[in-house]
Amino acid sequence: MTEEMERDENVFLMGEEVGEYNGAYKVSEGMLAKFGPRRVIDTPISEAGFSGIGVGAAMTGLRPIVEFMSWSFSLVCFDQLYNNAANVRYMSGGQFKVPIVFRGGNGIAHQLGATHSHRVEALYSRVPGLVVIAPSTPYDAKGLLKTAIRCDDPVIFLESELMLNDRGEVPEEEYTLPIGVADVKREGEDITLVSWGKCIKLCLKAAEELAKEDISAEVIDVRTLRPLDMKTITASIRKTHRCVVVDEDWGFCGMGDGIRAKIYDEAFDDLDAPVARVCSEEVPVPFSHNLEMAMQPSVEKVIAKVNEICYR
């Protein structure tokens, strides 16, 4: 964010506690001191208000970054994202662009309870006009966020509080990553694991364990949920002939089910087994940590599902 604000004076950050408090999770630490209160703006606790201001600012040519402390809170400003941000360019016949990034913590974190643990991928990925990104590594997060800030369409950028301390190689030189291009995080021959965000870490750990059982798992990180890179997914399935989709959403009408449907549409004849899914149990997210962990995907659940699909 700092690099893009240095590069383009039209970029600014707004949200709850992004300034004086240096961000609820310290993501914006030092930015208020560097850019001042006109470009790092603390807002009231009114997501509908400041997300609407962001959409209006984008329509006038600015490039806002709007931080939600939690994507669960975006539900109170659903109209601004779902109706306004997604549709202004279309409804105006292209007269207005909405170059805005909405970003913040998505999904289940640690004992935040049912109302603060929503997974919003399926809600926003079904909307034409929105771009939806969910990175899994520091390298991908930086490259994709820079691209998102430069994008002329509204971007839903899904992060995870549990990954903010993750470390990884990030080049010092300037780089961006393209929207709509998946990444093969691990190559394999026997089964394809498709996921995004923090569930990629589960898939990679599961792939390591499966290798000990002579099962070679390919891990596909979709990175962008809309547009979805089906070309990379189907190419992998044509090689492995089996697939498990892993995500932390609920099963019914979840993001994983949407991806499964597209796989059946585009790669049905290449499958030797049904496309399986590992997802969260159909219950509200418990506050109890033991129950919270039990209802989510795990390495053990991924391994068990792979063995089932491989008829082991």
User: CA-CA distance, 265 to 254, in Å (whole number)?
Assistant: 17
**pLDDT at residue 18 in the model:** 97
Instruction: Please give the average per-residue pLDDT across 221-237, as a whole number.
Output: 98
At which of 163, 195, 219 does a domain end?
A: 163
Which strands make up the sheet holding 101-105, listed edge to edge?
Answer: 40-42, 11-15, 63-68, 101-105, 155-159, 131-133, 224-226
Q: How confident is the model at residue 129 (pLDDT cuts 50, 70, 90)?
A: very high
Are residues 159 and 46 part of one domain?
yes
Whether residue 189 lies in the annotated active site: no
Q: Please give the DSSP secondary-structure letter assigned to residue 171.
A: -
Please return the burial class of 311, using the count of CB atoms within 10 Å of its CB with bins 0-12, 13-18 and 19+.
exposed
Q: What residue type is assigned to position 28 of the chain?
A: S
**pLDDT at residue 33 in the model:** 97
Are residues 210 and 117 part of one domain?
no
Instruction: Tell me, yes or no, whether 174 lies in a domain.
Output: no
Helices marked H in the chain — which ranges? 2-7, 31-35, 47-59, 78-79, 86-91, 121-125, 138-150, 199-211, 230-240, 255-267, 289-294, 299-309
Q: Please give the DSSP secondary-structure letter assigned to residue 199.
A: H
CA proximity to 155, closest of 145, 164, 163? 145
Count of structural domains, the chain: 2
Instruction: Please give the average per-residue pLDDT across 157-181, as a whole number.
Output: 95
Q: How confident is the model at residue 229 (pLDDT cuts 50, 70, 90)?
A: very high
Instruction: Tell me, yes or no, whether 169 lies in a domain.
Output: no
Are residues 199 and 118 part of one domain?
no
Are residues 235 and 188 part of one domain?
yes
Instruction: Please give the average per-residue pLDDT across 228-249, as a whole number.
Output: 98
Whether residue 110 lies in the annotated active site: no
Q: Which residues contact 54 (CB under 8 A, 6 or more apart)?
A: 14, 64, 66, 100, 102
Are residues 26 and 143 part of one domain?
yes
Are residues 235 and 89 part of one domain?
no
CATH label of the domain that carries residue 50: 3.40.50.970
**Rg of the chain in Å (alpha carbons):** 20
User: CA-CA distance, 28 to 213, in Å (whole number)?
Assistant: 44
Are residues 157 and 187 part of one domain?
no
Are residues 121 and 73 part of one domain?
yes
Per-residue model confidence as pLDDT tens digits over 197-222: 999 999 999 999 999 999 999 999 99
Tracing tokens 């939806």 back to the chain, one arrives at 132
Its domain, for residue 48, covers 2-163
| Annotated catalytic residue within 17, 116, 209, 266 | 116
How far CA 257 is from CA of 60, 87, 136, 248, in Å, comes to 38, 25, 20, 12
**pLDDT at residue 113 in the model:** 93
CA atoms within 13 A on the CB side of 12: 23
Per-residue model confidence as pLDDT tens digits over 79-88: 999 999 999 9
How far CA 45 is from CA of 33, 67, 75, 77, 90, in Å, comes to 22, 12, 13, 12, 30
Beta bridge partners, 155, equal 101, 131
User: CA-CA distance, 25 to 34, in Å (whole number)?
Assistant: 18
**pLDDT at residue 125 in the model:** 97
Are residues 255 and 123 part of one domain?
no
Tokens of 152: 């002329």
Q: What is the largest CA-CA distance in the chain?
A: 60
Q: What residue type is assigned to position 43 of the chain?
A: T
**Through-space distance between the first and last CA atoms of the chain, rounded to whole angstroms:** 47
Per-residue model confidence as pLDDT tens digits over 130-153: 999 999 999 999 999 999 999 999
Per-residue model confidence as pLDDT tens digits over 14-55: 999 999 999 999 999 999 999 999 999 999 999 999 999 999
Q: How confident is the model at residue 292 (pLDDT cuts 50, 70, 90)?
A: very high
CA proximity to 101, closest of 62, 25, 142, 157? 157
Strands 224-226 and 131-133 come out as antiparallel
Q: Record the pTM.
A: 0.96
| Annotated catalytic residue within 4, 16, 47, 67 | 47
Q: What is the mean pLDDT of the chain?
A: 97
Tokens of 311: 């008829």
Are residues 284 and 220 part of one domain?
yes
Tracing tokens 């597209």 back to the chain, one arrives at 262
Three-class DSSP category at 176: coil
